[in-house]
Structure 1
Amino acid sequence: MKEVFVLVQEQLTISHSKGHHLTPIERGKIAGLLAAGKSARQIATELGVCHQTINNELKRGCVQQVKKINGKEQYFNIYAPDTAQIRYEMNRQHCHRPLKFKHITNFLAYFDDHFHQDHWSPDAAVGFAHKHHLFKRTEMVCTKTLYNYIDAQLLEIRNLDLLEKTKRRTQHHWSHKHRRLIGKSIEERPKRVDKRNEFGHFEIDTVVGKRSGHESVLLTFTERKTRFDFIRLIEGKDADSVAYAIKGICAEFGDLIKSITADNGTEFTTLEEALTGVADIYYAHPYSFSERGTNETHNRMIRRYLPKGYSLDTISPKTVALVEA
């Protein structure tokens, strides 16, 4: 029996996140370690938690069992991980603040009226009530709580009824650490570039028409201070085509170019070679379009004339020049 528990112990090599409650897997591991004869402190070390956490957990999951030994009933206290999990979940149901929903009916009626009649948002209703002291703090809730009520479908108003919420994209918080970059990170770019007081710092990107992989694309080259934009029609979205176009721009305006900021697309992998001795090249973090915001804004303007799905093989450099102008 001990061999089985030792095997379970070796397989469950999880690391406990600081500040998080014990999980069902960790409770199973506690039971296995107890059966293997480990003390509470040894179990705490194994799981990476405080020993008092284990003591509290053993009390929470303690159940009494009866066994007959030599005809006599004897009682034993053992740790049951399933029981501990059930008791934990029951305790969690009672740990939050009670809902004010039943005590703020006047405020909810006020919000409902203004929402339907005046098309107010939840935040506008809360803000107006605060500004004009229509309700006491205890008689109303904040904007976030009001949205929580809508999400939980406690009101007749649904998310579909809100003018803006369904149009907004879900916010993603990207971690920039340990992201692989092609070359020097934008974090190494001089701070003076951010201030836009100095001419010669550019942002670069490509604009695709049809996503067939073999069509012409646009290379956009935007100066940060003046927002001046170069647009070049190149043969494809590949590193050689981009490098060839950049060398042409540098041949004309190389003395003016001080730095270039690009994304991590494969078409920009040879930029450093193409710009050796001409300008510094920096790469934005993955999925961080705002770090090249000037260039992205110009690309949206280009889409007014050359929308997505439009074949760029059908346009001439003269048309590109008109769009650039």
Structure 2
Amino acid sequence: MHHVRQFLYQSGGIRLTPQQRSARHLSGGEREEISRGIAARESARELARRLGRSPSTVSREIARNGGRDRYRAASADEAAYARGRRPKQAKLAQRPALRSLVEAKLALRWSPEQIAGWLRLHFPGDASMQVSHEAICLSLYDPRRRQAIDRSLTQRLRSARPMRRPKIARRPTGRGIIRGMVSISARRAEVEDRKIPVHWEGDLVMGTRPSTVGTLVERTSRYTAIVAIPDGIKAEQVTPHLTRSLLDIPPQLRRTLTWDRGREIAEHQAITAETGMPIYLCKPRSPWQRGTNENTNRLLRQYLAKGADLRTFSQADLDAIAHPLNHRPRKTHGYRTPAGVYAGLLNSGDALTA
């Protein structure tokens, strides 16, 4: 392990990539064809047509390698390979004034990004006194550019690491994934028109974390039930209280539930098995898909402040809050109350209509 770390320290933690020829560049074979074409006194345009290249590409190739009298394919190919080698000498190694300024700022514990931004601000028209934050990092860590800057200045960075550790995307662990979820797009079209009063929306209303209560709203009547959840916001803590409240709903008014895509509903399959209500989950960052519940939660903030500890509210307290909310006239009902509309639906038998 010590030898591996020593090897990585020498490379600065930066992987060295081998030099490769781009397919866009002239190959050795193409340069040989250019050399033969020159000997046959072909023009640059004729050579370009035969090679499938631009005439300017061929003319520049000949000009930069001695002209028609001195062009040789082998030496031209070697020169092109040498010009393409990377990295070139670092800008900080070429410009002592810029290097001194960058080292001075690093000594003051400025980050490379702060230095690059400061240089752009103070030298707006002078490209020779500007450098990117990535170039500063490479000059600190890349062994091929080490002469560009004092490597001991890595100790002045926030990480103080002698090797660079690139950011790597974390592999998914499966934690927090809601398994077997059914998207709201699979919900029956009848839910949208609110004509059949058997569909509910639900969510959590947060107080000071981890205190919360659940809300259930019937889409047609806007009748609201508030659920005490005194134990916490994890799925195993929410599930028993939510299940109990759903079972309190008359069976004929209990068909579907639409919920936000939060981790608290991860045990939705157990809730469905107990209550017989399939649970549909909204798309990510789409609270408008359960707009009735969102509007109700906004009304509840008149009674349940964001800074309140909601664990102090008993189920009786929450029922007392839901009562005035359900008996408040609503314009959408012609100023009838949600409780009155809900009672009428329950007594009329409309909820049994498929």
Calculate the TM-score normalised by the size of structure 2: 0.44
Calculate the TM-score normalised by the size of structure 1: 0.48
Q: Larger Rg: 1 or 2?
A: 2
Task: Answer 1 or 2: which has greater strand percent.
Answer: 1
